[in-house]
Structure 1
Amino acid sequence: MENNHLIDLTEQNAHQVLESSRNAPVLFYFWANMSPESLDMKPLVEKLAAQHASHLTVAMVDCEQQQMLAAQFGIRALPTMALFDNGKPVDGLMGPQSEDAVLEFLDKYLPNQAELAFKEALEKMDQGEYSEALTILKTLEADLGESGEYKLTLAECLIETKQFDLADATLATVLMQDQDARYKSLTAKIELYRQSADSPEVRKLQEAYDADPENDDLAFDLAVQLNQVDKHEEALELLMKLIRKDLNFADGQAKKTMMDILSSLGQGNEIASKFRRQLYALLY
């Protein structure tokens, strides 16, 4: 019965298994052939071990074969469950239990679905897959939206996907007690973006366009410059305005530029989604 999540406990591996609870909870199940109730529950315990394999180890203790261990754990009745976390006993159940009772018992100590999904998003970020992580994070707002860690993680993904205004708005909701070094680093990235975006070329084109807003050539040049300094929403607004006036403006360059920007932003980008819908409505 040996595998990564379901093991037979012996005196030889007991210390190692207890130490492993410092990384993930370990559920000890004490049973014996002489106890029909404990035998009846074994399939349930084995099923739970498989279902929670990624974040729970189940150690089966045959009390007839491992009498010394049973005595060390102070077992007085069968079946008995003992949950260890961080090297220490945290809870237990004694006697026959229904599946619902065991699940309720475990739910207090195992990560819920939202926490597991959040962990998946963090793994995506470690791999540089920020758009995919952002897609996951958006589904967790109802469960984790008030968490400072969630807000900082969301803001980081928004920055990495070049959605700086949304990132700034998210950081504005972070409470004072959560404004740690990570928060300061993220706000600094937004400030650096704003400084780099305020280039002389962009300022000059913006001033010229403001003075002559019907000049489509200026609008196109400004859109290109804005995109280069990651002001994607402003660039897309200008390009959408041009395409609405003339679908083939500049021999189709406005449409091509817009589609290139949308493609570079990816599927998980809210700004891209908004303008993608507008463009498709116009085209189809």
Structure 2
Amino acid sequence: MQSPYIVELNEQNFRQVLEGSMETPVLLHFYAFVSQESVELIPAIQTLTQDYDGALTLALVDCEKQQAIAAQFGIQALPTIALFINGQPVDGLGGPQTIEAIEQMLSKHLPSREDLTLQKAAKLIEQGQHASALTLLDSLSEERAAKGDVKLAKADCLLETQQFDLAESLLAHIPLEYQDNYYKGLIAKLELHKQAADSPEIQAIEASLAQQPDNAQLACDLARQYHQVNRDEEALELLWGFLSGDLNALDGEVKKAFMDILSALGQGNPIAGKFRRQLYSILY
């Protein structure tokens, strides 16, 4: 497995790799092909290292080729696992091990993989990559996702990806101890959106439509205005009220407005999926 975080330890790079533990913990895995168990463990340890995504370096030591290094460490059982932090051995395991046992050992000294995921998401948010950050945050366990810091980060991503209703729902359930300046800034963003989403122009069309509820042209105009301020579910619901009775309402203009909004939302959007199913139910 090619990875900058996985190296074969030898006498030439021995000092450099161990000195690297001053910056990043190094896990030494001593193995030999005469010990099938030690070899069979390698792919699982490599995958585990990849999961840590730079927070851990794996150094593989072939004891048959690197007998001097094995002797220096006094290796008596295979596999042997040794964890180095700040240039010093801090933990280890000897003899046949499960990958779960190795994970448990590492968890005593390293951030959890969920904490690392959260750290990566925070960096993506700083870089303005909110959609990618949101994908990472969605991968967290239900228990971790319920924490206030994760809710704030997720609300930030939802606001930036214009999923305002979901963001508002999250922000309504932030524990008091997390209602700091970050939280207040997100609330301010949400309020600005709400103000824009209820502009005088929208209010005027709403008032006209209230007086002429069967006016399909007004409905199209209002739906397009709703879409512009990300009130897509309201826009589609409004248009559906006309389409469900007449697919050719306003000579097809209502259907075109409806399909334009569905297309803009894309295939993966749950709101779009709901209304596509409703449309298919009367088409087929």
TM-score normalised to structure 2 length: 0.76
SS in 2 for 1:201: helix
Q: Which moved more, 1:221-230 or 1:2-11?
A: 2-11
Q: In the TM superposition, what is the alpha-carbon distance from 1:141 to its structure 2 partner?
A: 5.6
In the alignment, is residue 50 of structure 1 matched against residue 46 of structure 2?
A: yes
Question: Helix, strand or coil: the match of 2:83?
Answer: strand
* 1:134 Cα offset (Å): 5.2
Q: What residue in structure 2 maps to residue 104 of structure 1? A: 101
Answering whether residue 246 of structure 2 is matched by residue 249 of structure 1, we say no
* Residue number in structure 1 paired with 2:179: 179
Q: AA paired with 1:144?
A: R
Larger mean Cα displacement after TM superposition, 119-128 or 56-65: 119-128
The answer to whether the 8 Å contact 2:216/2:254 transfers is no
Alignment gaps of 5+ in structure 1: none
Q: Partners of 1:107 and 1:276 in 2: how far apart?
A: 47
1:27-66 aligned at under 5 Å gives the runs 27-30=27-30, 39-54=35-50, 55=52, 56-61=56-61, 62=63, 64-66=67-69
The answer to whether the 8 Å contact 1:31/1:78 transfers is: no
Structure 2 SS opposite 1:195: helix
Query: Contact 2:28–2:83 (CA<8 Å) still a contact in 1?
Result: yes
Q: Is the 8 A contact 1:265 1:272 kept in 2?
A: yes
What corresponds to 1:19 in structure 2? Answer: 20
Contact 1:26 1:58 in 2 (8 A): yes
- Equivalence map 1:122-201=2 (5 Å): 128=129, 130=131, 138=138, 140=140, 142=142, 144-201=144-201
Q: Distance in 2 between matches of 1:108 and 1:169?
A: 39
**Aligned-residue offset at 1:193:** 0.8
Instruction: Tell me, yes or no, if the aligned pair for 2:216 and 2:250 is still in contact at 8 Å.
Output: no
Structure 2: give runs of 5+ residues left out of the alignment: none
Answer yes or no: is the 8 Å Cα contact 2:27–2:59 preserved in 1: yes
One-letter code aligned to 2:213: P
In the alignment, the residues of structure 1 paired with residue 184 and residue 216 of structure 2 have an alpha-carbon distance, to the nearest angstrom, of 40
Question: Shift of the alpha carbon at 1:239?
Answer: 0.8
Aligned to 1:218: 218
Q: What is the aligned-residue RMSD (CA, Å)?
A: 3.7
* Per-residue Cα deviation, 1:51-86 (whole angstroms, up to 9, x for no partner): 33423532234473127852xxxx474343212357
Q: How big is the shift at 1:43?
A: 0.4
Q: Specify the code of the residue in structure 1 equivalent to 2:167.
A: A
CA distance change for structure 1 residues 123 and 236 in 2, over 3 Å: closer, same or farther?
farther
The one-letter amino acid of 1:19's match is G
Q: Partners of 2:104 and 2:45 in 1: how far apart?
A: 13
> Equivalent residue of 1:275, what SS?
helix
Shift of 1:248: 1.1
1:240 offset after TM fit, Å?
0.8
Q: How many residues align?
A: 271
Query: Whole-Å Cα distance in 2 between the matches of residues 2 and 215 of structure 1?
Result: 64
Distance 2:165 2:87 in 1: 45
- The alpha carbon displacement at 1:106 in A equals 1.8
Q: What corresponds to 2:234 in structure 1?
A: 234
- Equivalent-residue separation in structure 1 for 2:179 and 2:215 (angstroms): 45
Q: Which amino acid aligns with 1:14?
A: R
Relative to structure 1, the CA distance from residue 91 to residue 259 in structure 2 (aligned partners, 3 Å threshold; closer, same or farther) is farther
- Aligned letter for 2:43? K
Cα distance change, pair 196–69 in 1 and its aligned pair in 2 (3 A): farther
SS in 1 for 2:254: helix
Q: Can you list the C-alpha shifts for 1:120-173, whole angstroms capped at 9, x where unaligned? A: 87798768572x765675565635331334323432343234221121001212
Please say if residues 130 and 161 of structure 2, whose CA atoms lie closer than 8 Å, have aligned partners that are also in contact. no
Q: 1:6 to 1:268 in 2, by over 3 A?
A: same
- Give, in whole Å, the separation in 1 of the partners of 2:267 and 2:133: 12
**Could you tell me whether the CA contact under 8 Å between 1:158 and 1:164 is conserved in 2?**
yes
Cα distance in 2 between the residues matched to 1:86 and 1:267: 49
CA contact (8 A) 1:6 1:49 kept: no
